[in-house]
Structure formats: C-alpha cells, structure tokens
Structure 1
Amino acid sequence: MTLKVLYIDGDGPMGGASRSLYEAVSRLVEHGVSPYFLVSSGTASNFYRKVAVDLIETRGMSKFDNTRYGYYRGARWLILLREIFYFPFMFIALLRAKHRWKNVDLIHVNEYVYIIPALLAKLFFRAPLIVHVRSLARDSPHSRRVILLNYIFNRFVDSIVAIDGGVKNTLPQLLSVNVVNNSFSPALSNQPAPDFVERFEALRAGTLKVGFVGNLHLAKGVLEIVQAACILRGSSRDIDFVLVGGVTLQDKGLKAWLLSKLGFAQNFASDLKNFIEKEDLSGCCHILGPTLEIKYVYDRLDVLLFPSHFDAPGRPVFEAGFSNVPSIVAVEHPTMDTFIPYETGLAIAAKSPQALADAIAYLHDNPGERIRMGNNAHALAKQNFMPEANAKKLFNIYQIALGNFKNRQGLGASR
C-alpha cells in the first residue's frame, strides 16, 4: 500500500524537530510512503529534498504557540504580528501545493504550533490530519486558548503523536495520544569538515570531556555551562567544556536590538564568546561551531550536558546514549522512556550553575558510575529510539487514521 503524505514543517533551520522528521520519513519511505513537503525556507529543506517526491518552500509559516514556555503573554503578544505577516506567504504556498499535487492521503504536521497551516491543508485536501506534539503543552485547563486547542484536537485532528511520555502527560487525558519516540541513526555517515576535526583534536588529552550539542540559545542553558566552568576552575579536576553548535538565525540591526529589548532573542553565541574571554575560560571552554556529523562528537564525549530551561530531555540525550554517554539534564519529572535519573544520567534543577557544577564533579570523581550510566543510556536508546521500529509504529498510526477517516467519510476502498 502506497501512501501519499503531505508533511508540514514551519521550522526553516535544521534543528531537533526537523532532524526527527527527516529520520522518520527516511524509514517511512521503505514502508511505501511517498513524501511531499511544505516547509519554511531554511537549511532543513536540504535534507527533506533527499527523501521528498516534491517540495514547496514558503518564506515563513504562521503558527500559534501555546507551549508551556512559548505561550503568548505580555510583550510576547507582539509575536502575532510576525504570524500575520507570514500568513499570505503560507496561504499561497498551500494553494500551490493543492494545484500541483491535487490530492494526498494524509497530512502530517511536525509540531502542533503549526495548527493553522495544518487545518488549512485539511480543508484543501480533505485528508486525515496527524499532529506531532514535540513540545510540552501549556497545562492550564481554564485557559480559553487551551480549551480552544483541545476542541480543535477533538474535532479536526485524526491522530495525535507525542514524542515521549512527558509531552503526553501535558495533554488532556480525554485526548487519545500515541507515543512514538524520536529516532536517531547511530551510524556515522561522514567525517566532519577538516577544520572541525582539527579543532576537536586540539583539545587536551586525558581531560574529562563534557559537552553540549545544539543551537547556542540562552534557553538551552549554555550560560549555565560556562558559569559551571567558572565554579570548577578552582578545583583540581581537569575538565574540558565542549560546545558544538551555532545559531539558527543571525538577527542584525534594528530587528536584533528590538528582539533583545523585548526579551525574544535566543541566539547567544557572541555573548557566550565574550563571557568566556572576560572570565579567561578559553583554556577549558571551547566553542567548536556546528557540524552535522554529531556521532563523531558523541563518540568523543564523556558526559553530555543538557541544562535546558524547558524541563524536558532533548534529542541530544538519547543521541549521546547510542555512544554510551550519560547525560546531566535539567528536568524535574522525567518519564522512564527518555531519561532515568541515577541510571542513565543525573537530573538537576534548571538555571543552577552550582547544581550543574556539582553533577559534573560527581561524574568526574566517580568514573565507575559514569560508565554504568553510559551503558544504561545505550540500552535505553536501543530500546526506544531505533529508527526502524519507530517508523513502523508511525506507519501503523497512518494506516489506522486513514482507515477511520474513510469509514467516517464512507469512502470504502482507497482512492
């Protein structure tokens, strides 16, 4: 059975959500999925084109953010001006998609903040809608926005997929939610660029390598990492702090100033470099830049640092697990399918450089525990994050959603 699936992704730059979708679709093709993409312009398109039958880009895509940390309040309501600006570009792109592709069997939106283009696509194509929930939802049952989104989920969404138990727990119990963990292909496909390899191999031999992988955003906890380096600098421990990543978009001029004043700016690379220079941390803190060959990095780390402010383990936690690397994660109530405190790593409080420093010191001083947790992280990664198994789960969800949709519509056999 071949399924013609329209994938909608509004995040232009390649990030965790885009990588997760690419990993899934790469395997779904083997199950008979014909992928068509409607995406915002950015580096993620370069990956999607590798698996897409066809792809349409738009300048941007309107979203409605009601996640736990990104929901609109105060000055953040001004962000709706951006969503209004993107709407005509998105609408025209959807019309182009309808004109070019005529029909699709399913629509899969890569994050529920893009519910607006998802509903329009459902209206245009008259196909079942799969919504992937990747962020912790705002859990305020009396909020009118939450009530509205829950109504939309119940009325118009044919299947909801959460990336882990923690995300599922933020959604109302009355909703039927399938958990399909993200996936990672642990095989290294290529060597990183020579200049990146040169920078990595220049690190001191014999030190404990603790590292961060991801976009250098303030909310990812990168400031706490260099602050922890300050705390540990006076100890006798020999530790290298490795930060691998870049920025998603480089804002400049008036836009950069305005975003900074309103507290919306997230890119933190230049401030981070200034902090390292000011505190004379260049001997132990190393910003190596981005690379797509992240397995190379994980294979050379001893501990992964993920002190995000979002109270959730991110992709790097299980990606590092495939390389037997334990993690230090800022999370209060992890679910056992993604991260197990004291078994696959250490859980700490968010926004606490001291807690991060203490956890790093513990794993430095207890190599046996570090190895044990790394082995457990590897076992958990193989259990829950293998691409083939998760693609099969997702394909089964597609089939069930399509079957139920056809039954409701009285369509009988496939078109």
Structure 2
Amino acid sequence: MAAARIEQRIGRLDRFGRRHGVVRHRILLPVDEDNSPWTGWADFLREGLSLFHRSISDIQFLLEGFEQRLFRVLLEQGPGGVEALSAEVRDAIREERRSQDEQYALDRIALSEEPVEAFIETIEAAEEDEAALQDGVDKWLLGALLMKKQPVAWPAQDPFKLRTTKETLIPRLPWLEAFNLEQTGALTWRRRIATAHPETILLRPGTPLLDAAERYTRWDDRGTAFITWRTAAEWAHDLWIGFRLCFVVEPDIPISDMFAPSRVELAALRRAQRYLPPRTMSVHVGIDGIVVQDPTLLAILTRPYRRSDEGIGSIVDLNLASRPHILAGVIDPASFGGLCRSIRDRCRSALLAERSIGDAVVAAERLAMAEVERRRIRLRQRYFAGDFAAQADIQAIESILPAIACPAVRLDAMGCFIVSAEPPSIEAHA
C-alpha cells in the first residue's frame, strides 16, 4: 500500500480521538520473513519516511520518486539495501523541510512588502479606467493607423471587430498578417460585455492583438522625430528653440525581431515587467539643455498640433520636416544633428539619476529577488526529485535580474520646437 494511502488511514483513526499519550502500532504484513520485500517496505516507511511518527503531507510531491527508488533497490539489492536508502531519504526530507521553512519566511517578507490588498486595489483601479484605456489605444489604432471598427451585431457598437481599409497605414506584409484580424473574433474593452458574451475577447495588455500593436509601434518610426514651428500669440519673448524627449524606462530585455519575437523573449519580458512595469517620461528642455519650468511655455509646448484646417485664425503649427530652409534660418544645419545627440544623452543621464527611477528600480529588484528565491527553492525541489528540466527554469528566472537592476532608458520620440509670437516670414515659408 502506498505511503500516502497509509497516512490517510492513520488520519482517519486520529479523527476518532485518542485517549492515551502513547500509541503503539502493530503492523501486519502479508509475509513476516526478514528477507521479504514486504519487510523492507515496512522498514522504509518506519525509518526512511518516519510515517508512523509524524505527518508526511508536507512532502507529498516527493513520495512518488522515493517509492520508485525503493522498488528499484528492492529489485536489485533486496531488503538489505533499504537501510542505506532510508538514510538518503531522511537527508532529502530534512533538506526539503528546511527549504519549506525558508520559503515560508520569504513569503511572509513578500506579503509584508507587497500586501495582497494593494495588488487587488491596483487591478480594480485599472478595471475602473476601461474608458481611458480604450481611448488611448483607439487614438492610435483608429486615429493614427486608420483601422476601422465594425459592430458584430448592428446597431450595438459593442462588441466589435477591427477591419482595415485602403487608407490603413499598416503594411500588408508582414504586419497585417501579425495582427491576424481575419481570424480574430469579437472584441470588447468592457468586462461586462465579455462576461455576457463568453466568445468575446476582452482587450487588455497582454492580449495578442495589443501585443502586435505594441511591437508594430516600436518598429514603425513615423512620428518618432519632428520639427515644428509653433506660433503662439501669448509668447512675449524672443524666439525660443528647444526639444521634447519621450523616454520609456523598462527592463532591458532585448527583442531580436519585433515582427516574430521568440516565446522565450516574450516570456522573459512579461516576467520582468511584472516587477518593473514600463513607464513613460517626457521632458522639455531648451537648446541649452535646461529643463523648461515656465508654465506659459509648457502650456504652449504641450498643446495638440494645430493643422491649417483647424487653426484659430492664422495661428497654425508648421511642420518643418519638408521646409529645411526655415530651420536653416534659425540654427546651423551642420551642427543640428550633434546638438540633438547631446541633448538626448544629457536628458537620459539626468533621467537615470532621478530619485523616483532609482527607488522604483530598487523596489523592483528587491521584490524580484524575494520571489525568485522562493521559486528557486521550489524548482530546486523539483530538480532533486528528478525533474532535470527545472534547471533551465531556474536559469530563465535568474536571467531577468540584470535586466531589472539596470533597466533600459529608450528614447521613444524626440521633437524640436521653435516657438515664436509670429509665424515665419512669407519668404521663408515659400
């Protein structure tokens, strides 16, 4: 009879209650000869597992491996080999229980540092902001990339499917294939809709569609650099030249191919982002590298782009990408590239030195180390039990620690602004 089954029978006796402090066990075997495998089995239960003296429920997942080793010893060596095996098993059980004690201590530390209530509140807050999440992604998919929503059942607008048109700004090969819109079913941003329609996909970070959109955004460099002449009547100073830089601070997990990342890369990225979520940070600096603090200037720099068909009177923004002669009138084109690189490097260094970034990295690293240690203990237990694939899992988890400790500060977009109370001259505009 298996050790787990015997312990179950002992537990049933315990539930009847015992009136005596000492309980004597009498074990009846089919054969009571000293050289019988049954005798070796009973000796192993008593000396190796200590089954009759304490519970073995805490080592349940090790029992199958122990029993298989016992069967091999009985077959190859007979009952005489049980004594040595029992000593090895006792040592393994002692190590297992010590590891469990360490794991329990680490669990208590992790729970004290990251209460479950805070985690639940974060999830609930994200769920409450469904409209904001939808609005942000729709501006990109529908407004910028010119996809189109198609209701699944008219006139209800939700759930919906995404479709492309002739105007959609996504190359058919290879990226539209990556989005796989034809095979994607009904979509929704609202959990109540997904609950009422189980076949509907709830859009959240991590779903294949949003993963593809995020990778495409990083692959497509349109909009990542710009030069704008911004006319602002409220600007009462001399012509101002400066930059907006948008950085993303994230775990430094390299992706070899944005179109077809490997599962290993995606798994490592998701695991690392669990501890250090990506954060975007924008900064406005003057041509001298000094961060903009003036509220009036910041309001001018952060307002939406005004095209000629939506400008207020003659106040419109002018894209200088196709008008390099205007830029040449205010800054030396030969030195402009070097200036941009210098500003980028200075801002990146300043960003890494910010206390908020340092605190976030330290907290993420501490949390990751605690959880990785817990998982390492579990995986080590699997390894000792004969699961040699566990070593690869341990290495995969440990590999993300440097990516968290030294995150990447990626420049996502950079633009140059020329701010003036007056538009450029007609001659320069021509």
Asked if Structure 1 and Structure 2 have the same fold, meaning a TM-score greater than 0.5 normalized by the shorter chain, the answer is: no
Q: Which has the bigger relative contact order, CA under 8 A and spacing at least 6?
A: 2
State the TM-score, normalized to the length of structure 2: 0.19
| Structure holding more helix per residue | 2
The structure that has the greater radius of gyration is 2
State the TM-score, normalized to the length of structure 1: 0.19
